């Protein structure tokens, strides 16, 4: 499998999301959850090292998304303190700061791995930065409700404690492309498309994915030739 491994692009992650989501939902303090991060980064690192040992030459490693912009978290961690929110986006400041903490540790570890494996392209995918462009300027992406779920139970963020997408008396919006979230936890297709565009053609991969290897260039050319069509129109 050597030829297949060294000519393939490996997407390693995003790893860590549910390691944080479950304790956050369970009421574990953010201080305690921060103590998990070094172990999570170590697991990502060992996964990358194992893939390199199997012959991988090009790996994309995503960071964490701005979880302070997730509608469900905006609902359950609603605060009366203005300073808990980012004024530019309306996202929860402390949660986004935690996501950035995870990403800083991850970038430091990737730099260490690059020194150990100089013949391997280890690319950091800045999901956080690409997604924040949307929350800072949603109108540029045709999104009218960046912090609201399309499918859910209503309320200011499109989610509620009594109804979730697919459960209870939930409702679905008419045009998902106008929303930042699909179900209160996962981004909408419009957001995913904008993130992908930022990664493939923008500045949100380090080093830039389009200039790293021949295999990555082929992937870029392929993606540019595929017509985008949202799933609910198929």
In the prediction, which pLDDT does 234 show? 39
How many whole angstroms separate alpha carbon 219 and alpha carbon 52? 20
In the prediction, which pLDDT does 61 show? 98
In the prediction, which pLDDT does 221 show? 53
Tokens of 127: 């999901």
Q: What is the pTM of this model?
A: 0.88
Give the pLDDT means over successive 10-residue stretches in the chain (234 positions): 88 91 94 96 97 95 97 96 97 98 98 97 97 96 97 91 87 96 96 95 89 54 47 42
DSSP letter string over 111-143?
HHHHHH-TTSEEEEE-HHHHHHHHHH-GGGGT-
What backbone phi and psi angles, to 5 degrees, belong to 124?
Answer: -85, 125
Are the C-beta atoms of residues 150 and 182 closer than 8 Å to each other? yes
In the prediction, which pLDDT does 219 show? 52
């Amino acid at each position: 499998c050597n030829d297949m491994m060294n000519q393939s692009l490996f997407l390693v992650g995003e790893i860590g999301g549910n390691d944080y989501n479950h304790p956050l939902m369970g009421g574990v303090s953010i201080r305690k959850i921060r103590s998990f991060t070094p172990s999570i980064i170590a697991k990502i690192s060992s996964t990358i090292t194992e893939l390199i040992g199997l012959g991988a030459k090009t790996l994309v490693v995503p960071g964490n998304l701005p979880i302070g912009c997730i509608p469900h978290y905006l609902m359950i961690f609603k605060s009366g303190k203005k300073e808990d929110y980012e004024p530019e986006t309306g996202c929860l400041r402390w949660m986004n700061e935690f996501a950035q903490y995870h990403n800083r540790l991850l970038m430091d570890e990737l730099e260490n791995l690059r020194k150990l494996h100089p013949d391997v392209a280890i690319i950091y995918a800045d999901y956080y930065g690409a997604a924040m462009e949307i929350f800072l300027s949603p109108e540029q992406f045709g999104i009218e409700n960046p912090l609201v779920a399309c499918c859910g139970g209503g309320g200011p963020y499109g989610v509620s404690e009594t109804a979730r997408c697919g459960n209870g008396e939930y409702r679905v919006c008419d045009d998902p492309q106008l929303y930042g979230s699909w179900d209160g936890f996962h981004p909408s297709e419009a957001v995913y498309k904008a993130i992908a565009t930022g990664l493939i053609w923008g500045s949100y991969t380090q080093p830039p994915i389009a200039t790293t290897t021949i295999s990555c260039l082929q992937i870029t050319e392929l993606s540019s030739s595929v017509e985008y069509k949202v799933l609910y129109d198929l």
